Amino acid sequence: MAYISYVLTLLFFFGISLINGYFSKPHRGEDGIALGMMLQVVVIGFTICSLILTLSIWWKGGFDWVSPQGRTRNILVGIGWLCMVVAIFDSSFFESGWYHDLPDFFRLLIKRIGQIWMPLLVFASCFFLLNTELKARVSPYFYKTPMAIAFGLAALMVLGILFGWARRQIEHKIAVREARQEEIRKYGGDRSWYFKTSMDFINAHNDTTITRLLSYAVMDRDRDKGENDEIRKAAVAKIKSYEHWETNLIRILESKDIGDIFNAYGFLEANTLEHPKEFIIPIKNSITYVTTVSNESIKNPDNFFLGSTNIGALCHILEAQFKGDAADFRPNMVNLQQVLDIPPAKRSDKKYAQGFDEILQKSRLVVKNWLEAN
């Protein structure tokens, strides 16, 4: 059994060497899968067979020279075997990289020690330890010295692996702490992922149009105490940093994109224009488009775009910033009211039907109130 485990361990070691050489080139597809399966086989096989080999030598008393005390001897041999296996696998496949900061010569030397010289020293020593007759005829140094050197090198390599792991943990903690400090400096405290990505987008935005910024400038105003308010303020400041932001806004109002018009209304509802007269015609044109969208949504039971018209914000804009120009908007608002008064098509989904009816009633009410006031 001892010799069988010796031969199998040696064969698995050769397998490790072959796969290690083959792994030097990247492999994909079926080759990569096959290589991964072979790797699992040789790793498990080498581990089991080397353990059986170690136990066989221990059973024959081959390690009695390590220490006169049985318990101490067993612990030292167990640690030595474990260190050897870890060192071989780390050098061959897993490469923790603890020695990567060393000069090229030392990196290559350490790698070759783990891949070749250390295992060969162990196999040479085991050859003598398994054969009691041969062991008795040679000097103890023939099997003690190679084994001691191999286990010593393995222990040093494992210490290096542990040192590398500890160093990476420390570096990671330092990096996390620095990132945390940078986050506090940049965002003013512990922020949500959405806040950070939103602020990063706003700060880095360099488009010629403000379209994408508008969606951040009209976020939920019911949460003014939270991060949304800060995002809105940053987006508004970025928008107004554009020299021709009002011209941009006019283009959006005339774009016939209901989502962009929704955001434009939301922005105008909360921000005062510098040149409101220039917006009269664009807003009238947008009302015409909103009327068309509302008409389609009311008549089509599968169309829910009425909720994207933002008619409530439109009425607030007209009341707050265009009070003196109500006569210009009245014909458009009358047309909108007529469309909103059309009985809506019946919707099959009760949940959506209820939501649609609520939006429709609110839209009818705000338009009616505006027309009565103007």
The vertex-241 CA angle with 238 and 246, nearest 5°, equals 100
Give, rounded to a whole angstrom, the gap between the first and last alpha carbons of the chain: 103
Amino acid at 24: S
What pLDDT sits at residue 225?
A: 56
pTM to 2 decimals?
A: 0.56
pLDDT score recorded for residue 224: 46
The pLDDT of residue 49 is 84
Query: What is the structure's pLDDT at 66?
Result: 80
pLDDT of residue 105: 45
**Tens-binned pLDDT, residue by residue, of the chain (374 aa):** 667 878 887 787 777 777 766 555 554 555 556 666 777 777 788 788 888 888 888 887 777 778 888 788 888 888 888 888 887 777 766 655 555 555 554 555 556 665 667 777 787 888 777 777 777 777 877 778 888 888 888 888 788 878 878 888 888 899 888 877 877 777 766 678 888 888 889 999 988 899 999 999 987 655 545 788 888 999 999 999 998 999 999 999 998 899 999 999 999 998 999 999 999 999 999 999 999 999 999 999 888 888 888 999 999 999 999 999 999 999 999 999 999 999 988 888 777 888 888 999 999 999 999 999 98
- Cα separation, 256 vs 251, in Å, equals 10
Query: Mapped to the 3 state alphabet, what secondary structure does the chain carry?
Result: CHHHHHHHHHHHHHHHHHHHHHCCCCCCHHHHHHHHHHHHHHHHHHHHHHHHHHHHHHHCCCCCCCCCCHHHHHHHHHHHHHHHHHHHHHHHHHCCCCCCCCCHHHHHHHHHHHHHHHHHHHHHHHHHHHCHHHHHHCCCHHHHHHHHHHHHHHHHHHHHHHHHHHHHHHHHHHHHHHHHHHHHHHHCCCCCHHHHHHHHHHHHCCCCCCHHHHHHHCCCHHHCCCHHHHHHHHHHHHHHCCCCHHHHHHHHHCCCCHHHHHHHHHHHHHCCCCCHHHHHHHHHHHHHHHHHHHHHHHHCCCCCHHHHCCHHHHHHHHHHHCHHHHHHHHHHHHHHHHHHCCCCCCCCCHHHHHHHHHHHHHHHHHHHHHHHHC
